[in-house]
Structure 1
Amino acid sequence: MLMGTYTPRLDDKGRLFLPAKFRDQLSEGLVVTRGQERCLTVWPRPAFEQLAQQAQQAPVTDRAVRDYTRLLFAGASDDQPDKQGRLSIPPMLREYASLTRDVIVIGVVNRLEIWDAARWQEYSDAREQAFSDLGEEVFPRD
């Protein structure tokens, strides 16, 4: 399971050190792509392959499916961390998420998200009250 919040920095070449805690889970490869709310999503390769299988089974006659899969897969970049545990983020994806030097990496169960630090702070501050109010609606009790 991927969880926690980390604050690595992007270097001048657009690389960041993946938190050591996540490196084993990503050592066999990963896929970086656009996420919702202008963050980036880092999928362990097996999780992304599962998502790709779901996309293949979805009806291409559904406009929402076409729109989502186009943006998700067009922006996808498969990679493998280097020996130092660094991940290179392509310029197009850095631009999409407005990433500069200060970033936040969060673990979200089966994926990581990479956020511009200021954007993450705005997002989390704006949703704090809704988070407090939603507990039982998001995960209903059996």
Structure 2
Amino acid sequence: MLFLGTHTPKLDDKGRIFLPAKFRPRLEDGLVITRGQEHCLYVYPLAEFERIATEMTTGTTTTSRDVRDYQRVFLSGASDEVPDKQGRVTIPPVLRDYAGLSAECTVIGAGNRVEVWDSAAWTTYLSQAEPAFAERSEEVVPGLI
């Protein structure tokens, strides 16, 4: 199952967010929230995060500073969580700060992961990225045209 679509849940005063109902079955047994690119948060099902972390740490060399830096930032911010019975998950303060989350959030499906954005940041990002997407004629993803 791929995560798809755009949703706009609110972040409550305790730092919790309702996961979109259609995402809950894949996340109900546990998930990991971590820093993502463009100052959003990545949310992975626990098994997918474990696969990525294992690949990241066994398929690379720690002699590269860039690799070490990326692993440190990605893994040090990771927080394993289990949604409550209502489908809420708590986003730790360090991750809320990293993503600049306010009450207004946008949650998007991004294939193998969910992304959590501050709604204003998402609107800005999308307004900048959509024109290039609409004009793209060369192959960006190998095998897709």
TM bracket (short chain): over 0.9
Cα shift at 1:136: 4.0
Question: What TM-score results when the alignment is normalised by the length of structure 1?
Answer: 0.96
TM superposition shift of 1:135: 5.3
- 4+ long deviations beyond 4 Å: none
Match of 1:47 in 2: 48
Cα distance in structure 1, aligned partners of 2:37 and 2:112: 15
Structure 1 residue 132 displacement after superposition: 1.4
Question: How many equivalent residue pairs?
Answer: 142
Question: By percentage of residues, which structure has more strand?
Answer: 1
Residues 1:75 and 2:77 are matched in the alignment: yes
Corresponding residue of 1:12 = 13
In the aligned structure 2, how far is the partner of 1:38 from the partner of 1:124?
A: 13
Give the one of 87, 90, 99 matched to 1:88. Answer: 90
What is the DSSP-based 3-state SS (H/G/I as helix, E as strand, rest coil) of the residue aligned with 2:89? strand
Between the aligned residues of both structures, percent identity stands at 54
Matched residue, 2:105: 103
* TM-score in terms of structure 2 length: 0.94
Distance 1:56 1:141, change over 3 A: closer
Q: Which runs of 5+ in 1 are unaligned?
A: none
Distance 1:77 1:135 in 2: 38
For the residue of structure 1 that corresponds to 2:85, the secondary structure is coil
Alpha-carbon distance, 1:55 to partner: 1.5
Higher helix content, 1 or 2: 1
What is the alpha-carbon root mean square deviation over aligned residues?
1.2
For structure 2, the 5+ residue unaligned runs are none
In structure 1, the partner of 2:25 is 24
Pairwise CA distance, 1:37? 0.4
Q: In the alignment, residue 24 of structure 2 is paired with which amino acid?
A: R
Q: Among 57, 64, 67, which residue is 1:65 paired with? A: 67
Distance (whole Å) between structure 2 residues aligned to residue 94 and residue 136 of structure 1: 36
1:74-108 alpha-carbon deviations (Å, 9 max, x no partner): 10000010011001000110001000100000000
